[in-house]
Amino acid sequence: MATKPPTPSSLGHPFQKIYKLSDSIMCAVCGLIADIDLLLSYARQEVLRYRLTRSTEIPVTKLVQRLADVSQEYTRHKTLRPLAASMTFAGYTDANGFQLLSLEVASVMHWKATAYGRDHLSLRRFLESGFAEGITSKKAAELAYEAFVKVSECFKRQCKIHRNGVP
């Protein structure tokens, strides 16, 4: 996962774009901070609840589906507004290997590579053209870096590549 660092808030509220939810699941976020915090706290609870009851890590597909259910509840009730948050989850299981899923307003999509935010269409086209089955993690990180440098307005010194939740 790669992100452009967030613009510092004048209120001093620290905000990051990539979170490590478990040993096998990372999450990149964009949208309203309050909505992101709500979904992240629910995601953390689900990860812990699953680990305590099953003694194993929650599969990323199950976690994202549960978050989609929560998001759908906010969309369905007329007294609540839809959540304004997009989240991309990267996870690994022995059975399914690496998976990349996105959650947007109660919908879940599976990806091989994706991008969000400014210039996301150009970034997606660039990622599609450079992505190949069986790509190594080093090549994937280089591809993400190239996408930022060539397509977006992100300069080399601003781009952060995250592996296992660590920049």
Q: Where are the domains of the chain?
A: 15-111, 113-167
Cα–Cα distances in angstroms (integers) from residue 107 to residues 5, 59, 90, in the given order:
26, 17, 16
Higher pLDDT, 152 or 67: 67
Q: List, in sequence order, every beta strand (DSSP E) within 112-148.
A: none
The mean pLDDT value of the chain amounts to 82
CA-based angle 125:30:90, to the nearest 5?
65
Residue 164: its pLDDT value, please? Answer: 54
Residue 38: its pLDDT value, please? Answer: 92
Does 165 have pLDDT greater than 60? no
φ, ψ for residue 154, nearest 5 deg? -75, 125
| In this structure, CATH architecture of domain 15-111 | 4-Layer Sandwich (3.60)
Residue 17: its pLDDT value, please? Answer: 84
Highest mean pLDDT among 10-19, 79-88, 115-124: 79-88
Does 107 have pLDDT greater than 90? no
Higher pLDDT, 2 or 87: 87
Report the SS3 class of residue 149. helix
Does 121 have pLDDT greater than 70? yes
Does 167 have pLDDT greater than 70? no
